[in-house]
Amino acid sequence: TSILLLDAYFLIIIIASFNLAAMEYLDIQEGDKTESEYFSYYQLGLYLGILYFGMREVIQMLSLITLDTFNAWYSDLGNALDVSLIAVTLACSFIMDDKSIRTKDEIEIIQYFFSIVTLIMWMSVLSFLKSTLIDFAVFVGGVFYVGQRLAAFIMALAIILLAFSQMFVTMFQNTDLCLEHYSDVKLQQLIENENVVVGVTNKLVGAHLPSGYDNVSYAFTGTELCNTSLNYTFSAAKYVVVEPEQEYTNAPSPAFSNPEQSESPSLSPSSLDEIQSVLNWEESGREFCISQYRGLKCDSYLESCSPFCHWPEAFLRSYNMLIGVLNW
């Protein structure tokens, strides 16, 4: 009973600490807030949960090895879920310990990873309830039974979607919508024919920067033809607004004709924008020229400019066409 209570307590600690830490971490990366004094306590809760579940799994493994029944440990899906919980929680702790500023693409990947971690944590809660409550175990068993009955239908549906996505990827390959498949020579020839200059879509430069960075600068003039064999270097600054300082002087003000009034202090506020940090990055000529071409043809770097160039996008679009629109 004490082990079950400890499992419940530490599951609550891990889930609560992770959600609080993840929300604050993402807000910090977006520049919406600074790190609070409680952030370290959230991380401590994660490490305590990792330590407890890690020690429990090690003790369980050693006991099974002693009894010569270790095959029962790695064949149990519950243990696999526990190990997954420990691994992803530890990975999240390492990510949030890193205080470096990340790009928008990296933040988006981290958000996807955090959502998967959240799913694993709540699956651990379901596994815990299944092992402690008989009625809940019967319900979960019924759900798995229905899922097994639907396995053939889901597999057939997945095969159909994969078939259509492969057809579309094959059809769109080597078209001007899927420039990733172009060779460097063919891509450069297309850029020359379409007269794509590096400054044609400056709004795309720095589109993947973290929040708060602006004033993107670059070393080229913005009028020369895009070259796939070059690397383009950019820099962006993050500014912080300094509150206006109120300076008092005793100098006579020309607005006053009364000498007594001219002795009163005049208020001269001043405001400055100071650079908080500078971010430098480099884009390959190939990727940058592709983004400039799509910006010229599509007005923005949208996924609709390359609908069936990659497997994941092709699969989702095939799903939308054959079954319906996904409402996120």
- The tokens of 313 are what? 């996008």
Q: What are the φ and ψ backbone dihedral angles of 271, each rounded to 5 degrees?
A: -130, 140
pLDDT at 254: 36
Residue with tokens 């609908």: 307
Reported pTM: 0.56
Predicted pLDDT at 226: 83
Q: Please, what sign has the CA dihedral across residues 216, 218, 224, 225?
A: negative
What's the pLDDT score for residue 328?
A: 44
* Nearest alpha-carbon partner for 169 in 327, 319, 314: 314
Cβ–Cβ under 8 Å, residues 234 and 279: no
Q: Digits of tens for pLDDT over the chain (328 positions)?
A: 778 888 889 999 999 999 999 998 888 887 767 788 888 899 999 999 999 999 998 988 888 888 888 787 877 888 888 899 999 999 999 999 887 877 777 888 899 899 999 999 999 998 888 888 888 888 888 888 888 888 888 899 889 888 888 888 888 877 777 777 788 888 888 888 888 877 655 544 545 555 555 555 565 666 778 888 888 777 766 655 555 554 444 444 333 333 333 343 443 444 445 555 666 777 788 888 887 887 777 754 455 566 677 777 788 777 777 766 544 4
Are the C-beta atoms of residues 271 and 239 closer than 8 Å to each other? no
> Residue 28: in which H helix or E strand, if any?
helix 2-29
pLDDT of residue 51: 93
Does residue 320 contact residue 326 with C-beta atoms inside 8 Å?
A: yes
Pairing mode of beta strands 213-218, 231-245? antiparallel
Three-class secondary structure assignment of 30-51? CCCCCCCCCHHHHHHHHHHHHH
Q: CA-CA distance, 57 to 52, in Å (whole number)? A: 9
CA-to-CA distance for 24 and 18, rounded, in angstroms? 10
* Helices and strands of the chain, counted as H and E runs: 11, 5
Distance CA 294, CA 204 (A): 10
User: What pLDDT is recorded for position 263?
Assistant: 42
How much is the pLDDT for 89?
92
Rounded distance between C-alpha atoms, residue 286 and residue 36, angstroms: 41
DSSP state, residue 21: H
Task: Return the closest-CA partner of residue 217 out of 229, 199, 242.
Answer: 199
pLDDT at 317: 79
Q: Name which of 265, 303, 287, 327 is nearest 191 in CA terms.
A: 287
